[in-house]
Amino acid sequence: MLTNKLIDSLSSQGWYVWDGFLALSDIQMIKQCLPKTLQDARIGYRGSLQENKTIRGDQTVWLEPEMGEPVIHYLDKMEQIRQALNCQLYLGLRDFETHFCRYPKGGFYKKHFDNPKGVSRRKITTVLYMNELWKPTDGGELIVYDHEDNHLFRLEPVAGRMIFFMSEEFPHEVLPTETNRESITGWFLTEKKL
């Protein structure tokens, strides 16, 4: 079962790439549920949130069950994974938050960790890619580093591919994109979201 591969890989190396996590038809149905207008992404946490286009240039919208059945199906799948991770790895994951991201042409996200300084509620990061016709000249790859700033790997944002990684272990960045780059980024949390 693929969930076992995810659990084994997270416990041994801290990350896992799951190709074919969702079918293209599922991705297309989720896209149809999303609003046309997105919000410029911000950095920081709660009261310190701010826009900073020199650090990130994407637009987002948080996913909510009210958006429709395809979104509910996705959230249910992630809930099943949360329960499996807790059962096998004892991580104390209590919730999952997620948003859709669109990087317009030229968009990027400089190297960062997914937990703001002094906050450690995000335990596992997930990114589901939704770029159906992605090709190497499109850019927008994910680069993952270790704590010593060594380049570990580059991941192409191919539709249906999902990466899971330990949020506090791997700084990462999104390279500039030459076309719209779309994904769903999420985090398994050690506390309930507000």
The total of structural domains in the chain comes to 1
The span from the first CA to the last CA of the chain, in angstroms, equals 33
Q: For residue 114, what pLDDT is reported?
A: 84
| Cα separation, 102 vs 109, whole angstroms | 11
Q: What is the DSSP string of 3-63?
A: HHHHHHHHHHTSEEEETTSS-HHHHHHHHHHS-S--EEP-BSSGGG-B--TTTB--EEEE-
Packing angle of the helix pair 69-89, 2-12 (nearest 10 deg) = 50
Does residue 41 sit within a domain? Answer: no
CB-based contact 74:63 (threshold 8 Å): yes
Looking up tokens 């190297």 gives: 111
Tell me if 194 is assigned to some domain: no
Within a domain: residue 192?
A: no
State pLDDT tens for residues 33-71: 999 888 866 444 444 444 445 567 788 999 999 999 999
Residue 43 lies in a domain: no
- Stated pTM of the model: 0.91
* Low-confidence stretches of the chain (pLDDT beneath 70): 1-2, 40-55, 116-118, 194
Q: Please check whether residue 47 lies inside any domain of the structure.
A: no
The parent domain of residue 26 ranges over 1-35+52-187
Residue 28 lies in a domain: yes
**Helix H or strand E segment including 84:** helix 69-89
173: domain CATH number?
Answer: 2.60.120.620
Q: Which two tokens stand for residue 148?
A: 């010593």
Pull the structure tokens for residue 162.
């999902």
Give the pLDDT of residue 37.
Answer: 87
